[in-house]
């Protein structure tokens, strides 16, 4: 009896060891209902929203950097846009207006600092005045609240004493925020809700796993593997390359454009109280210089738009030869350059000789001088370009084209400005889309039932 008891204990220990080893193996591989690739403002917003809608799902967020939100999230202008510039009926217009309210409501709830500094869109000649009126009507059509059309220089001075212009649009509900702080708040909510965050997890493969229960395998550059039922990618500057891992076409291709800012010196910051923006020139690919107060008290001036020599290249010394050749030989980029050769050369010159950029700023603030400014930070814009050189302006999403992954993987291929403003609205839209197309409600109910048993 004693020996039988010992033998049973030994068998129990062996079984426990096998069970422990199998659990450790499963833990190492990781099995998830949804894996999200990309820890910027879109990825963290969507991860948070996913667990708010389906709190029992097993969700993992993968980020290749050592911390979240290091690139476009941390290096944009920090403006919560109201939704004036965007074509009525477009996703940009709809999601910007919704996202602006959601973001400020979230900041209020979480006590995240932000400021409603407002925005002046200023016309400096009669041609710009014509388009300014179009913008005003567009803003009203988009449901932007509180817009005011300012028709005299004196009224412009009431809002911004140093600013010069013929007419302007005043948007009182345009605000500023630190988007990296906001992304961290979303990530904290996601983690507190049971989500897992993996840093330094650069995705190298998204492929079929061969399993019926978890059909998608995600492998990072260190050969760490996980399996999932569904995958969402929000890869920003690498969104096209990540999409290609699942058979999506290369185009529209991401071409990185660096935007370099100047800073107002501390003694001159009082010159600017609100956001001062130009009337966009429809003949040019980018918006042009503007004045942006920041949450830390700085005032950013710019940006310009020059080709970055790598996708995360924040200076002329950041060079990836393969990524640079990829951009320079792309037909879309070549066509864009040929169409805007003079403009592009001017941007390059102003990048190298930055006091020339001050001349553009003097169009709106005549009193500003080079002595008032200094070189500031830079960001990189993930610009999606079609082969004909046209900029993909609206948000764009794509699904895998490969085998059994066709209904399993969804890609955010283009989320340009106002992507950060729209992030919480984009997240709601994506979660609703995934809920319907991926059948997340059914999975969620099955998990709840198993937990009850």
Which positions are catalytic? 81
Tokens of 139: 């803003």
d(CA 89, CA 360): 32
Q: Find residue 62's DSSP bridge partners.
A: 37, 198
DSSP conformation class of 251: P
| C-alpha distances out from residue 322 to 203, 311, 329, 353, Å | 19, 10, 11, 27
Q: What is the DSSP string of 340-365?
A: THHHHHHHHHHHHSTHHHHHHHTTT-
d(CA 36, CA 46): 8
Q: Return the SS3 of 253.
A: strand
Q: How many residues comprise the chain?
A: 453
Residue 290 phi/psi, 5° resolution? -150, 175
- Of 187, 186, 183, the C-alpha closest to 198 is 187
What angle, 0 to 180 degrees and rounded to 10, lies between the N-to-C axes of helices 440-452 and 423-437? 80
């Amino acid at each position: 009896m004693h020996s039988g008891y010992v033998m049973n204990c030994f068998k129990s220990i062996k079984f426990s060891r096998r069970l422990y080893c199998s659990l450790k193996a499963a833990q190492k591989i990781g099995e998830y209902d949804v894996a999200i690739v990309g820890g910027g403002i879109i990825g963290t917003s969507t991860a948070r929203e996913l667990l708010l809608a389906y709190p029992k799902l097993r969700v993992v967020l993968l980020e290749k950097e050592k911390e979240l939100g290091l690139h476009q999230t941390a290096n944009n202008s920090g403006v919560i846009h109201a939704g004036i510039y965007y074509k009525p009926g477009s996703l940009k217009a709809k999601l910007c207006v919704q996202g602006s309210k959601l973001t400020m409501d979230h900041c209020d709830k979480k006590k995240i600092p932000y400021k409603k500094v407002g925005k002046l869109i200023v016309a400096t000649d009669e041609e710009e005045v014509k388009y300014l009126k179009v913008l005003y009507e567009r803003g009203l059509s988009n449901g932007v609240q509180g817009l005011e059309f300012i028709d005299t220089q004196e009224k412009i001075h009431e809002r911004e004493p140093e600013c010069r212009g013929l007419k302007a649009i005043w948007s009182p509900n345009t605000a500023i925020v630190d988007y990296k702080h906001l992304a961290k708040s979303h990530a904290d909510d996601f983690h507190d809700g049971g989500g897992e965050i993996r840093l330094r997890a650069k995705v190298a493969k998204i492929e079929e796993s061969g399993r019926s229960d978890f059909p998608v395998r995600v492998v990072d550059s260190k050969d760490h593997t996980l399996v999932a039922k569904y995958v969402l990618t929000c890869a920003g500057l690498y969104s096209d390359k990540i999409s290609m891992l699942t058979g999506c076409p290369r185009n529209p291709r991401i071409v990185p454009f660096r935007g370099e800012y100047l800073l107002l010196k501390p003694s001159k910051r009082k010159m600017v109280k609100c956001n001062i923006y130009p009337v966009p020139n429809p003949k040019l690919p980018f918006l042009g210089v503007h004045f942006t107060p920041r949450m830390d008290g700085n005032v950013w001036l710019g940006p310009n738009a020059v080709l970055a020599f790598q996708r995360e290249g924040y200076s002329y010394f950041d060079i990836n030869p393969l990524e640079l050749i990829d951009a320079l030989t792309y037909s879309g980029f070549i066509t864009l350059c040929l169409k805007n050769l003079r403009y592009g050369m001017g941007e390059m010159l102003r990048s190298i000789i930055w006091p020339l950029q001050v001349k553009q700023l003097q169009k709106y603030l005549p009193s500003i001088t080079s002595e008032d400014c200094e070189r500031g930070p830079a960001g990189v814009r993930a610009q999606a370009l079609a082969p004909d050189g046209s900029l993909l302006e609206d948000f764009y999403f794509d699904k895998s084209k490969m085998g059994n992954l066709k209904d399993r993987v969804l890609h955010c291929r283009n989320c340009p400005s106002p992507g950060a403003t729209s992030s919480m609205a984009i997240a709601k839209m994506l979660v609703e889309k995934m809920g319907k197309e991926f059948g997340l409600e059914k999975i969620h109910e099955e998990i709840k039932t198993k937990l009850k048993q």
